[in-house]
Every structure is written in C-alpha cells, then in structure tokens.
C-alpha cells in the first residue's frame, strides 16, 4: 500500500520559508534607513557648524538665532519611545530630519 502524502506539506513549507525570509529583509530595510538617517544627521550637523558668524546684533545674527531656535525646538519636541520599536517613532524622526533640512535650505537662500 502506497503512503499518501499530505497535500498541504509543500504549501506550508513554502510559506514557512517565505516568512523566515522576512527577517533578513526587515534587517536590510532597517539598516538602510539608519544609514540614510545618520548620513543626513551628519550633513545637518556640518551645515550648522558651517553657518557664517554674523556680527552681533545684526539682522543676519537675528535671522540665524531664529533658525537655531526653530531647529532646537524641533529636536526638543520629538516625542518617541525607542524601547517600543514603533514605526510612528521612526516617522517622527524622519519628519524632524525633513523639517531641519528645509530650515537649513531656506536659510541658505
């Protein structure tokens, strides 16, 4: 008598392999996000470092002070809970980086 094989074994095995392949995919995506965000942070830090030193009490100094205050407020306003690993926290960091970039670009104009 021939043994019958369960017709669901192959689809289950394929699904299991597909699910297990999500782990390295997730790591690859997360690593790419981190690398890009960290590069942006370095660029922003360098942009702030390289801001010109205007004369005290000049309009340029007032404008720069306003820029720095806005940027600091954005950073201070980040409300995240890193220990929870939430997507919305990544989105908040991404949004702050985008806003900081806009401020720096607009200041340079």
Cβ neighbors of 55 (< 8 A, separation 6 or more) are: 61
**Average predicted confidence (pLDDT) for the chain:** 93
54-97 pLDDT per residue, tens: 898 899 999 999 999 999 999 999 999 999 999 999 999 999 99
Taking residue 27's Cβ as centre, other Cβ atoms within 10 Å add up to: 10
Give me the residue label for tokens 């607009």: 106
Rounded CA Rg of the chain: 24
Give the pLDDT of residue 107: 85
Residue 33 corresponds to which tokens in the numbers above? 């996000």
Residue 4 confidence (pLDDT) above 90: no
CA distance 105 to 103: 5
């Amino acid at each position: 008598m021939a043994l019958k094989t369960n017709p669901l074994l192959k689809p289950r095995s394929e699904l299991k392999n597909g699910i297990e392949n999500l782990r390295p995919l997730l790591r690859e995506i997360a690593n790419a996000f981190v690398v890009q965000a960290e590069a942006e942070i370095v660029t922003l830090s360098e942009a702030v470092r390289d801001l010109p030193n205007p004369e005290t009490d000049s309009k340029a100094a007032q404008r720069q002070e306003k820029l720095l205050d806005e940027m600091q407020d954005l950073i201070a306003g980040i409300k995240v809970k890193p220990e929870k690993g939430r997507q919305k926290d990544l989105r908040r960091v991404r949004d702050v980086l985008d806003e900081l970039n806009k401020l720096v670009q607009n200041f340079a104009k």
